[in-house]
A and B are shown apart, each in its own frame.
Chain A
Amino acid sequence: MEEPRKVLQVSGLHVKVKAEQGMLSLIQDIHFDLKSGQVLGLVGESGSGKTVTCNSLLQLLDRKNTIVEGSIQLNGRELNGLKAEEMRRIRGKEIAFIMQNPMSAFTPVYTIGMQFIETIRTHTMLTKKQAIELAVTSMEDVNLPDPPKLMNLYPFQLSGGMLQRVMIAISMCLRPSVVIADEPTTALDVVNQLQVLRQLDRLRLEYGTSIMLISHDLGVISELADEVAVMQHGQIVEQANVFKLFDHPQHAYTKKLLNARPAFPLQQLNRESV
């Protein structure tokens, strides 16, 4: 069987930030590879450096006050140290980003359609008409009802779950090779959460996109991830296949996380899924 291609290779990633006490190290020595079609879950408590890691991959950190060391290779191309201009061309097209709070990720003063088309047209040579068509089909892909009508609505007229699906549609419409999803379901209720996860899973199966899934919720991780990296204090303390990690956690912190799940009658659930 063909070995899946490595899409994103991160090695020796350090991020430091300037502070009053001197240089403060936020994350240290992060290594991981993301193969095509794979889902890498990144778990950890709040403040463990999950979001800093993904922001450094996207080169979104403030360049004046932070130092990013190490290598981030996307399809063999080094991202770390790229000019802001070039990075802007990659972001959205080759690496997409799904943010935690869909409500604050959109501009409230433009319609969904305008924001959608803006993203498409900055990265492609499509005409406005073609862009609208692409937008509508990708919204249909994520099961949004009546996309042409949605295009004319403003973000605040949609519910959180719908808006999150619009964001997924925007991020997936240009077929990026990597999607970074930073707590994509934390702001949603449970029913919407499952729907959004289902969309992500389908898009990955259909287009072979690699997903980096950041979450503190082990439920989300166990649903979607193939490989899991556990972060604590800015370091990856354990990285393993999801089955191996849940069955035989090695690191004490992983065990602590696994034990932190609320007790729930599992047998009831199993009967449910059968």
Chain B
Amino acid sequence: MLLQVKDVTHSYGVPRLFWRSDRRVPVLSDISLTIEQGMCLGLLGTSGAGKSTLGKVILGLEKPRQGQVFFQGHDLYSTDIQTRKVLRRDLQVVFQDCYSSVNPRMTAERIIGEPLDNYERLSLNEQKRKIGELLEMVGLNPEDMRKYPNQFSGGQLQRINIARAIALKPKMIVLDESVSSLDMVNQTHILGLLRELKSVFGLSYLFITHDIKAAYSICDGLAVLEKGELVEMFDDKDRIFASSHATVRSLISSILSEHPRHRSLSLDGDPT
């Protein structure tokens, strides 16, 4: 078992304002899930359901109020800092907003080189070669390493983020809405790339999204989150269609049709 989330409960505090007492807004309640090596779990839910918070908790960025997160058998929040540093190596992340997850004043080479600087001691030439390989792996030109983030398009920059995430050959990547801000064509390319990397490196993904279609095309299992509660888990993604839960139903029924003939909006028939 690669990752185990055990009874995680979390809430955000609202700061005290004059006479009002401290208030806490519950975000996650009693979440338990597991991810096996090489498996991809899709985390679905509407905005505000707590998907990203759960992602942060799993990454070790947000200490939950209660519960534990085990990654490769170690509790992320109670191990010493050395162990955590080793664990972090195998746990990477790609966020939705590709522009704000890179430093605009660094070249692609430095962006991708940062995790290598931190964990591996490579000679300059070796590092350069490695970065070139990584860029090729994500479908970019090794020449591009001299460019700055503003010289890339959204899709290209997301590839650089992915290159940075796979630089250390991690075991798991948390993809927090990684394809949501891209257009259809780029989205399909990135999903294809992720699928390929998964089979090459045996990566596990936690794929956080509100888009069932994207999740369906890449995940093995699906979990649905609503208002901080895990409403349903599907080990087999196809079972989601048979679900009778209201939240799941509303997610499924809001999938847009792929052809005007199957419109779900009530229209006055065929315009022709």
Contact = CB atoms under 8 A, between A and B. Distances in A.
Interface of A: 45-47, 159-161, 186, 188-194, 197-198, 201, 205, 216-220, 222-226, 241-243, 246, 256-257, 260-266, 268-270, 272-273
Contacts of B263: 222-223
26 contacts: A45-B185, A46-B183, A190-B255, A193-B256, A194-B253, A201-B266, A219-B258, A222-B256, A222-B257, A223-B264, A223-B265, A241-B272, A246-B259, A257-B184, A257-B185, A260-B187, A261-B213, A262-B187, A264-B213, A264-B258, A266-B258, A269-B255, A269-B258, A269-B262, A272-B253, A273-B257
A222 B264 CA distance: 10
A140 B95 CA distance: 36
A218 B47 contact: no
Contacts of B212: 190
Contacts of A220: 256
A262 B256 contact: no
Contacts of B47: 159-161, 188-189, 192
Contacts of A241: 271-272
B188 interface: yes
Nearest to A194: B254
Contacts of B216: 262, 264
B210 A189 contact: yes
B121 to A, nearest CB: 39
A264 B217 contact: yes
Main SS at interface, chain A: helix
A222 B185 contact: no
B187 A273 contact: no
A261 B266 CA distance: 23
B210 A262 contact: no
Contacts of A226: 271
Return the 9 tightest CB-CB contacts between A and B, nearest first: A219-B256, A216-B183, A189-B210, A194-B254, A262-B217, A260-B188, A190-B254, A189-B47, A46-B183
Given A257-B184, A260-B184, A264-B213, A273 B262 contact: yes
A197 B213 CA distance: 18
A21 to B, nearest CB: 16
Nearest to A200: B265
Interface string B181-218: 11111111001000000000000000000111110110
A256 B184 CA distance: 11
A197 B265 CA distance: 8
A220 B213 CA distance: 14
Given A46-B154, A190-B251, A216-B183, A262 B213 contact: yes
B191 A262 contact: yes
A235 B254 CA distance: 32
Nearest to B44: A190
A201 B265 contact: yes
A163 B267 CA distance: 25
A188 B255 CA distance: 13
A262 B255 CA distance: 12
B99 to A, nearest CB: 13
Greatest chain B CB density within 10 A among A191, A193, A205, A224 is at A191
Contacts of A260: 184-185, 187-188
B259 A194 contact: no
Contacts of A264: 213, 216-217, 255, 258
A214 B90 CA distance: 41
A26 to B, nearest CB: 16
A190 B255 CA distance: 7
Contacts of B252: 272
Contacts of A257: 184-185
Nearest to B177: A189
B247 to A, nearest CB: 9
B15 interface: no
B46 A262 contact: no
Given A264-B217, A272-B252, A194 B264 contact: yes
A270 B260 contact: no
B249 to A, nearest CB: 9
Contact of A194 (B256, B260, B272): B256
Contacts of A266: 258, 262
Contact of B184 (A218, A223, A246, A272): A218
Contacts of A46: 153-155, 182-183, 186
Contacts of B213: 261-262, 264
A226 B187 CA distance: 25
Contact of B268 (A194, A205, A261): A205
Given A47-B153, A243-B272, A270 B185 contact: no
Contacts of A197: 256, 265
Greatest chain A CB density within 10 A among B259, B261, B266 is at B259
